[in-house]
Structure 1
Amino acid sequence: MSNEAANVAILKDAYRQWHESKGGSVEQLLSICDPSINWDSIPRGAAPLEFAKQYNGREVLQGYFSQLLADWEMIRYTIDEYVAQGDVVFARGSCAWTNRKTGKVADTPKVDFWRFRDGKAVEFYEYFDTAHVAAAAT
Protein backbone atom coordinates (compact mmCIF):
# COMPACT_ATOMS: atom_id res chain seq x y z
CA MET A 1 0.00 0.00 0.00
CA SER A 2 1.35 3.45 -0.90
CA ASN A 3 1.77 6.17 1.71
CA GLU A 4 -1.10 8.06 0.07
CA ALA A 5 -3.43 5.05 0.33
CA ALA A 6 -2.29 4.36 3.91
CA ASN A 7 -2.95 7.96 4.95
CA VAL A 8 -6.42 7.90 3.37
CA ALA A 9 -7.17 4.60 5.14
CA ILE A 10 -6.17 6.14 8.49
CA LEU A 11 -8.51 9.07 7.90
CA LYS A 12 -11.42 6.98 6.62
CA ASP A 13 -11.34 4.95 9.82
CA ALA A 14 -10.94 8.04 12.03
CA TYR A 15 -13.84 9.89 10.36
CA ARG A 16 -16.05 6.79 10.46
CA GLN A 17 -15.47 6.44 14.20
CA TRP A 18 -15.92 10.19 14.77
CA HIS A 19 -19.28 10.14 12.98
CA GLU A 20 -20.54 6.87 14.48
CA SER A 21 -19.57 7.87 18.04
CA LYS A 22 -21.02 11.40 17.59
CA GLY A 23 -17.73 12.83 18.85
CA GLY A 24 -16.95 10.13 21.38
CA SER A 25 -13.78 8.95 19.62
CA VAL A 26 -11.51 11.83 20.66
CA GLU A 27 -8.79 9.49 21.93
CA GLN A 28 -8.75 7.66 18.61
CA LEU A 29 -8.40 10.96 16.72
CA LEU A 30 -5.60 12.06 19.02
CA SER A 31 -3.86 8.72 18.45
CA ILE A 32 -3.40 9.43 14.73
CA CYS A 33 -1.70 12.77 15.54
CA ASP A 34 2.02 13.23 16.00
CA PRO A 35 2.93 14.65 19.45
CA SER A 36 4.03 17.89 17.75
CA ILE A 37 0.98 18.33 15.46
CA ASN A 38 0.13 21.84 14.29
CA TRP A 39 -3.71 22.06 14.36
CA ASP A 40 -5.48 25.17 13.09
CA SER A 41 -8.91 26.36 12.04
CA ILE A 42 -10.26 29.10 9.81
CA PRO A 43 -11.95 31.12 12.64
CA ARG A 44 -8.55 31.41 14.37
CA GLY A 45 -10.26 31.64 17.76
CA ALA A 46 -12.60 34.53 16.91
CA ALA A 47 -15.72 34.77 19.09
CA PRO A 48 -18.00 32.90 19.37
CA LEU A 49 -15.81 30.06 18.06
CA GLU A 50 -12.94 30.46 20.49
CA PHE A 51 -12.15 26.73 20.50
CA ALA A 52 -11.44 26.77 16.74
CA LYS A 53 -7.92 28.16 16.92
CA GLN A 54 -4.31 27.06 16.61
CA TYR A 55 -3.02 24.28 18.85
CA ASN A 56 0.62 23.26 18.85
CA GLY A 57 0.99 19.74 20.13
CA ARG A 58 -1.23 16.77 20.80
CA GLU A 59 -1.38 17.37 24.57
CA VAL A 60 -2.99 20.82 24.26
CA LEU A 61 -5.21 19.68 21.38
CA GLN A 62 -7.49 18.00 23.93
CA GLY A 63 -8.74 21.54 24.66
CA TYR A 64 -10.16 21.83 21.14
CA PHE A 65 -12.25 18.71 21.54
CA SER A 66 -13.28 19.45 25.13
CA GLN A 67 -14.67 22.87 24.23
CA LEU A 68 -16.19 21.71 20.94
CA LEU A 69 -18.09 18.88 22.60
CA ALA A 70 -19.11 21.05 25.58
CA ASP A 71 -20.68 23.65 23.28
CA TRP A 72 -21.93 21.50 20.39
CA GLU A 73 -23.71 18.18 19.89
CA MET A 74 -22.89 16.32 16.69
CA ILE A 75 -25.73 15.40 14.36
CA ARG A 76 -23.49 14.01 11.61
CA TYR A 77 -19.99 14.24 10.19
CA THR A 78 -19.68 12.84 6.70
CA ILE A 79 -16.63 12.81 4.45
CA ASP A 80 -17.46 11.99 0.82
CA GLU A 81 -14.15 12.55 -0.94
CA TYR A 82 -10.45 12.16 -0.24
CA VAL A 83 -7.73 13.60 -2.42
CA ALA A 84 -4.19 12.50 -1.61
CA GLN A 85 -0.87 13.56 -3.06
CA GLY A 86 2.41 12.76 -1.41
CA ASP A 87 2.10 13.37 2.33
CA VAL A 88 -1.07 15.50 2.00
CA VAL A 89 -4.73 14.46 2.16
CA PHE A 90 -7.74 16.71 1.64
CA ALA A 91 -11.02 15.38 3.04
CA ARG A 92 -14.24 16.97 1.74
CA GLY A 93 -17.73 16.49 3.08
CA SER A 94 -20.16 18.15 5.46
CA CYS A 95 -21.14 18.17 9.09
CA ALA A 96 -24.04 19.29 11.23
CA TRP A 97 -23.96 20.23 14.90
CA THR A 98 -26.52 21.62 17.36
CA ASN A 99 -25.31 24.40 19.62
CA ARG A 100 -26.09 23.36 23.20
CA LYS A 101 -26.76 26.96 24.38
CA THR A 102 -28.88 28.27 21.50
CA GLY A 103 -30.44 25.06 20.19
CA LYS A 104 -29.61 26.23 16.64
CA VAL A 105 -28.20 23.86 14.04
CA ALA A 106 -25.08 24.58 12.01
CA ASP A 107 -25.01 22.48 8.83
CA THR A 108 -21.94 23.30 6.78
CA PRO A 109 -19.67 22.04 4.03
CA LYS A 110 -16.36 20.90 5.53
CA VAL A 111 -12.86 20.56 4.09
CA ASP A 112 -9.96 19.30 6.18
CA PHE A 113 -6.31 19.50 5.15
CA TRP A 114 -4.00 16.87 6.66
CA ARG A 115 -0.23 16.39 6.32
CA PHE A 116 1.32 13.10 7.42
CA ARG A 117 4.82 11.99 8.33
CA ASP A 118 5.61 8.35 9.11
CA GLY A 119 1.93 7.45 9.45
CA LYS A 120 1.04 10.26 11.89
CA ALA A 121 -0.71 13.57 11.23
CA VAL A 122 1.70 16.48 11.70
CA GLU A 123 -0.51 19.26 10.33
CA PHE A 124 -4.26 19.91 10.17
CA TYR A 125 -6.30 22.88 8.95
CA GLU A 126 -10.10 22.95 8.80
CA TYR A 127 -12.35 25.00 6.55
CA PHE A 128 -16.09 25.47 7.08
CA ASP A 129 -18.82 28.13 6.80
CA THR A 130 -17.75 30.22 9.76
CA ALA A 131 -20.55 32.77 9.36
CA HIS A 132 -23.21 30.05 9.49
CA VAL A 133 -21.60 28.33 12.49
CA ALA A 134 -21.13 31.63 14.36
CA ALA A 135 -24.80 32.51 13.72
CA ALA A 136 -25.85 29.17 15.23
CA ALA A 137 -23.72 29.92 18.30
CA THR A 138 -25.37 33.30 18.97
Structure 2
Amino acid sequence: MSSEANVQLLKEAYRQWSDSKGQDVDYWFDNVIGPQIEFDSIPQGNAAVPFATRYDDRNALRGYFEGLLADWSMQYYTMNEFVAQGDTVVARGECAWTNKKTNKVAKTPKIDYWRFEDGKAVEFHEYFDTAKVYSATVP
Protein backbone atom coordinates (compact mmCIF):
# COMPACT_ATOMS: atom_id res chain seq x y z
CA MET A 1 0.00 0.00 0.00
CA SER A 2 1.31 3.47 -0.82
CA SER A 3 1.92 6.27 1.65
CA GLU A 4 -1.11 8.11 0.26
CA ALA A 5 -3.31 5.01 0.64
CA ASN A 6 -2.23 4.70 4.29
CA VAL A 7 -3.07 8.37 4.86
CA GLN A 8 -6.50 7.94 3.25
CA LEU A 9 -7.17 4.87 5.39
CA LEU A 10 -6.33 6.83 8.54
CA LYS A 11 -8.36 9.88 7.49
CA GLU A 12 -11.43 7.67 7.11
CA ALA A 13 -10.77 5.89 10.41
CA TYR A 14 -10.36 9.17 12.30
CA ARG A 15 -13.49 10.57 10.62
CA GLN A 16 -15.55 7.58 11.73
CA TRP A 17 -13.99 7.68 15.21
CA SER A 18 -14.89 11.37 15.54
CA ASP A 19 -18.36 11.07 13.99
CA SER A 20 -19.24 8.18 16.32
CA LYS A 21 -17.83 10.04 19.36
CA GLY A 22 -15.53 7.07 19.93
CA GLN A 23 -18.19 4.39 19.71
CA ASP A 24 -17.05 2.87 16.39
CA VAL A 25 -14.13 0.80 17.65
CA ASP A 26 -14.68 -2.04 15.18
CA TYR A 27 -13.63 0.12 12.22
CA TRP A 28 -10.11 0.30 13.67
CA PHE A 29 -9.94 -3.49 14.05
CA ASP A 30 -11.65 -4.34 10.76
CA ASN A 31 -9.72 -1.91 8.55
CA VAL A 32 -6.61 -0.45 10.19
CA ILE A 33 -5.04 -2.67 12.85
CA GLY A 34 -2.99 -5.59 11.59
CA PRO A 35 -3.07 -9.14 12.94
CA GLN A 36 -0.08 -8.26 15.14
CA ILE A 37 0.50 -4.72 16.45
CA GLU A 38 2.85 -2.95 18.83
CA PHE A 39 0.65 -0.31 20.49
CA ASP A 40 2.04 2.19 22.99
CA SER A 41 0.59 5.13 24.89
CA ILE A 42 2.65 7.84 26.59
CA PRO A 43 1.14 7.38 30.12
CA GLN A 44 2.51 3.80 30.28
CA GLY A 45 -0.41 2.62 32.44
CA ASN A 46 -0.36 5.48 34.97
CA ALA A 47 -3.05 5.01 37.65
CA ALA A 48 -5.05 7.96 36.26
CA VAL A 49 -5.44 6.17 32.89
CA PRO A 50 -4.44 2.54 33.45
CA PHE A 51 -5.76 1.44 30.03
CA ALA A 52 -3.29 3.79 28.28
CA THR A 53 -0.32 1.46 28.25
CA ARG A 54 1.59 -0.91 25.98
CA TYR A 55 -0.19 -3.71 24.12
CA ASP A 56 1.51 -6.34 21.99
CA ASP A 57 -1.61 -8.36 21.28
CA ARG A 58 -4.46 -7.35 19.00
CA ASN A 59 -7.09 -9.00 21.22
CA ALA A 60 -5.73 -7.43 24.42
CA LEU A 61 -5.78 -4.05 22.65
CA ARG A 62 -9.57 -4.04 22.93
CA GLY A 63 -8.92 -3.35 26.63
CA TYR A 64 -7.54 0.06 25.69
CA PHE A 65 -10.78 1.06 24.00
CA GLU A 66 -12.95 -0.52 26.73
CA GLY A 67 -11.07 1.39 29.44
CA LEU A 68 -11.12 4.63 27.50
CA LEU A 69 -14.85 4.49 26.80
CA ALA A 70 -15.69 3.34 30.35
CA ASP A 71 -13.98 6.37 31.90
CA TRP A 72 -14.21 9.07 29.24
CA SER A 73 -16.74 10.57 26.83
CA MET A 74 -15.44 12.09 23.60
CA GLN A 75 -16.28 15.73 22.91
CA TYR A 76 -14.36 15.87 19.63
CA TYR A 77 -11.38 14.29 17.93
CA THR A 78 -9.83 16.16 15.02
CA MET A 79 -6.75 15.01 13.16
CA ASN A 80 -6.03 17.57 10.47
CA GLU A 81 -2.40 17.11 9.48
CA PHE A 82 -0.81 13.96 8.08
CA VAL A 83 2.85 13.48 7.17
CA ALA A 84 3.78 10.26 5.38
CA GLN A 85 7.08 8.74 4.39
CA GLY A 86 7.30 5.16 3.21
CA ASP A 87 5.28 2.95 5.55
CA THR A 88 5.12 5.61 8.29
CA VAL A 89 2.36 8.16 8.89
CA VAL A 90 2.31 10.81 11.60
CA ALA A 91 -1.07 12.39 12.33
CA ARG A 92 -1.45 15.64 14.28
CA GLY A 93 -4.56 17.23 15.71
CA GLU A 94 -6.51 17.89 18.87
CA CYS A 95 -9.08 16.09 20.97
CA ALA A 96 -11.22 16.69 24.03
CA TRP A 97 -12.65 14.08 26.38
CA THR A 98 -14.85 14.46 29.47
CA ASN A 99 -13.97 12.31 32.45
CA LYS A 100 -17.16 10.50 33.49
CA LYS A 101 -16.30 10.54 37.23
CA THR A 102 -15.27 14.19 37.59
CA ASN A 103 -17.11 15.74 34.63
CA LYS A 104 -13.88 17.65 33.84
CA VAL A 105 -12.74 18.08 30.25
CA ALA A 106 -9.24 17.26 29.05
CA LYS A 107 -8.51 19.18 25.85
CA THR A 108 -5.12 18.29 24.41
CA PRO A 109 -2.99 18.33 21.29
CA LYS A 110 -2.65 14.80 19.87
CA ILE A 111 0.09 13.20 17.81
CA ASP A 112 -0.13 9.62 16.57
CA TYR A 113 2.72 7.70 14.95
CA TRP A 114 1.71 4.79 12.70
CA ARG A 115 3.79 2.22 10.81
CA PHE A 116 2.15 -0.01 8.21
CA GLU A 117 2.97 -3.31 6.52
CA ASP A 118 0.83 -4.49 3.61
CA GLY A 119 -1.82 -1.86 4.31
CA LYS A 120 -2.30 -2.72 8.00
CA ALA A 121 -0.95 -0.95 11.08
CA VAL A 122 1.77 -2.91 12.86
CA GLU A 123 3.03 -0.14 15.16
CA PHE A 124 1.32 2.77 16.92
CA HIS A 125 2.49 5.33 19.48
CA GLU A 126 0.25 8.10 20.84
CA TYR A 127 1.34 11.36 22.43
CA PHE A 128 -0.83 13.89 24.25
CA ASP A 129 -0.71 16.32 27.19
CA THR A 130 -0.72 13.89 30.09
CA ALA A 131 -0.85 16.71 32.69
CA LYS A 132 -4.18 17.90 31.29
CA VAL A 133 -5.54 14.36 31.19
CA TYR A 134 -4.35 13.55 34.71
CA SER A 135 -5.82 16.78 36.14
CA ALA A 136 -9.21 15.94 34.62
CA THR A 137 -9.26 12.71 36.66
CA VAL A 138 -8.89 14.52 40.01
CA PRO A 139 -12.15 15.63 41.70
Task: State TM-score, norm by structure 2.
Answer: 0.97
1:121 aligns with 2:121: yes
What is the CA-CA distance between 1:9 and the residue it aligns to? 0.5
Q: Superposition pairs for residues 26-37 of structure 1, below 5 Å?
A: 26-31=25-30, 32-37=32-37
What is the CA-CA distance between 1:24 and the residue it aligns to? 1.2
What is the CA-CA distance between 1:5 and the residue it aligns to? 0.3
**Matched residue, 1:16:** 15
Secondary structure of the equivalent of 1:9? helix
**Matched residue, 1:69:** 69
5+ residue gaps, structure 1, are none
- Bigger drift between 27-36 and 125-134 goes to 27-36
Paired with 1:44 and 1:38, the residues of 2 have a C-alpha distance of 13
Alpha-carbon contact 1:35-1:59 (below 8 Å) kept: no
5+ residue gaps, structure 2, are none
Q: Superposition pairs for residues 1-138 of structure 1, below 5 Å?
A: 3-31=2-30, 32-138=32-138
Paired with 2:38 and 2:118, the residues of 1 have a C-alpha distance of 15
Paired with 2:119 and 2:57, the residues of 1 have a C-alpha distance of 16
What is the CA-CA distance between 1:47 and the residue it aligns to? 1.5
Runs of 4+ in 1 over 2 A off after TM superposition: none
Task: State TM-score, norm by structure 1.
Answer: 0.97
Paired with 1:93 and 1:23, the residues of 2 have a C-alpha distance of 16
Partner amino acid, structure 2, of 1:75: Q
Alpha-carbon contact 1:73-1:100 (below 8 Å) kept: yes
What is the CA-CA distance between 1:57 and the residue it aligns to? 1.8
Alpha-carbon contact 1:42-1:128 (below 8 Å) kept: yes
